[in-house]
Structure 1
Amino acid sequence: MFTKQGPTLRELAVQALSSTQRGYDLLAPKFDHTPYRTPDRVLDSVTRALEPLGPFGTGLDVCCGTGAGAGVLRQVCRERVVGVDFSAGMLAEARAALPPGTGGPAVDWVRADALALPFAPSFDLALSIGAFGHFLPADRFGLFAEVYGSLRPGGRFVFPIGAPPAVGSRAYWSFLGFDAAMRVRNALWSPKFIMYYRTFRLSDVLDDLTGAGFSVRLMALTDLGERPDGSPRARLVVATRE
């Protein structure tokens, strides 16, 4: 599937019938050869948006996966970067992809649940990319509260968020169909695999961030293009622990 180096259809089926954690442990060695990895142009856009907000000392990549976000943090943080994920397989790939001495501060990799982060308020910047579909709406406030508790006063929690696809577009029906299939799968099969595309609405996200104590502003990621109505295709959410 996807590329010669990517997972086979059988491997994807096995992963989809596993728990979220086990599924990513299995997918990890081939994850970067799938469309699920955040594209480099998005990572580059986020990096450019963060540069004028710095400098930052310490950075935390929340749900780091194979380390794409940690790579961004190494470019904008001077002192220390930590990547945290609950998948041992993904962390192993991240360690191999970003070994010490490859530019920027070294990265410490921590295995932990993002809903129970094991950190004191010691980070200047927290980043998360491409992971929010793995959290149910009921868990989102708790996730934001955990990140808030890991930041120093004045620290920022940032993440890109794309505009919803136009109603009736191919992407709209694709996301709708995927989420419907996932709901059926989770109703009929255990353990559950949590991954949804349509549960991270901007208005709800802003409410939960504010409720967790953040002040929030949005930055247009203009280099990722505009929609037909002139609005940006993607924004960077910048939530600050005042």
Structure 2
Amino acid sequence: MSAPQAHAPKNGPQGSGPKGPTLRQLTVQALSSVEHGYDLLAPMFDHTSFRTSDRFLRATRDALAPLGPFEGGLDLCCGTGAGLGVLRDLCAGTVTGVDLSAGMLDRARLAAPWAELVRADARDLPLAPRSFDLAVTFGALGHFLPRDLPALFGQAYTVLRPGGRLAFPLPGPPRPGSRQALRLRAFDTAMRIRNAVWRPRFVMYYRALTLGTLRDSLAGAGFTVETYAMPEFGRREDGSPRCRLVVATRPTASGQSSGEAAPADGPAL
């Protein structure tokens, strides 16, 4: 997942590999609902640039490891299951994946037959409260509008145990005026026009959710929020990290989070 916004769906508005979907297939997907669109894309998804890269997965796993140990793990919007391996490495207990698309879950069953997979909307989880110690999500937050975040993060808070953590990598936005920034703005504008004139809507935006918006929404759900630099991706000219790991912790009864160890670089707010 090398897109400049990790909360955007997977990797960005880029091309696909030789085994990936054609332009016509991508167009059909974009004119479908989110659920049906990913059902159509599922057999080819892992051959597209939308799949979260192994580099991001390894970096996330390595950043979370010092914050453990963890028992049960949950991947929200797990897609074809790329992130389930991160949880398997980190969690001693059951690993569960949730996704709205039945087609994506079919592929996840092939990739992670050891995981429990549930078809559900992440804003309405059919899971027992306080069941997990660690929840992750990779590249899916662009499918949610700011108004969806209270339900999304509220559900995550409910299914995490006190001291449990919700984590996701978040690359910084591209430099204003850069080619990448202009490309993402054009993509979001095209999607807004598409959704204004076509039904069903397909929510997929790269610039709707900023770090500030996410932090405020997580805090509003009851989490304490920290961000950690991910040193694998370096720093910008101004010294800020190119990518952060956002870690939201459900407080314990005493108001303290569990697992006080942090990645080597420490908080990078």
Matches of 1:225 and 1:68, distance apart in 2: 24
In structure 2, the residue matched to 1:80 is: 94
The 5-angstrom pairing of residues 47-126 of structure 1 reads: 47-99=61-113, 106-120=114-128, 121-126=130-135
In structure 2, the residue matched to 1:18 is: 32
Q: Which runs of 4+ in 1 moved over 2 A?
A: none
In structure 2, the residue matched to 1:237 is: 246
Matches of 2:244 and 2:123, distance apart in 1: 24
User: Normalising to structure 2: TM-score of the pair?
Assistant: 0.86
In structure 2, the residue matched to 1:103 is: none
Do the aligned partners of 1:3 and 1:33 also contact (CA within 8 Å) in 2? yes
SS in 1 for 2:165: strand
Task: Among all aligned residue pairs of Structure 1 and Structure 2, give the percentage whose two residues are the same amino acid.
Answer: 58
In structure 1, the residue matched to 2:11 is: none
Matches of 2:18 and 2:173, distance apart in 1: 31
SS in 2 for 1:27: helix
More moved, 130-139 vs 227-236:
227-236
Cα deviation per residue 1:67-126 (whole Å; 9 max; x = unaligned)? Answer: 111111000001110000010000000111122xxxxxx310000010101112210000
27, 32, 42: which one pairs with 2:46?
32
SS in 2 for 1:216: strand
Matches of 1:206 and 1:9, distance apart in 2: 36
Structure 2: which 5+ residue stretches go unaligned?
A: 1-14, 252-269
Letter in 2 for 1:77: C
Greater share of helix: 1
Letter in 2 for 1:225: G
SS in 1 for 2:83: helix
Matches of 2:175 and 2:250, distance apart in 1: 33
1:221 deviates by: 0.5
Greater RCO (CA < 8 Å, at least 6 residues apart): 2
1:194 deviates by: 0.6
Structure 1: which 5+ residue stretches go unaligned?
A: 100-105
Matches of 1:170 and 1:37, distance apart in 2: 22
Are residue 159 (structure 1) and residue 173 (structure 2) matched? no
More moved, 222-231 vs 193-202:
222-231
SS in 2 for 1:95: helix
Matches of 1:224 and 1:51, distance apart in 2: 18
In structure 2, the residue matched to 1:150 is: 159
Letter in 2 for 1:44: R
User: Normalising to structure 1: TM-score of the pair?
Assistant: 0.96
Matches of 1:116 and 1:88, distance apart in 2: 16
Matches of 1:183 and 1:209, distance apart in 2: 25
1:227 deviates by: 1.5
Matches of 2:209 and 2:230, distance apart in 1: 18
Matches of 1:141 and 1:148, distance apart in 2: 10
In structure 2, the residue matched to 1:184 is: 193
**Cα root mean square deviation, aligned:** 0.8
Matches of 2:225 and 2:26, distance apart in 1: 37
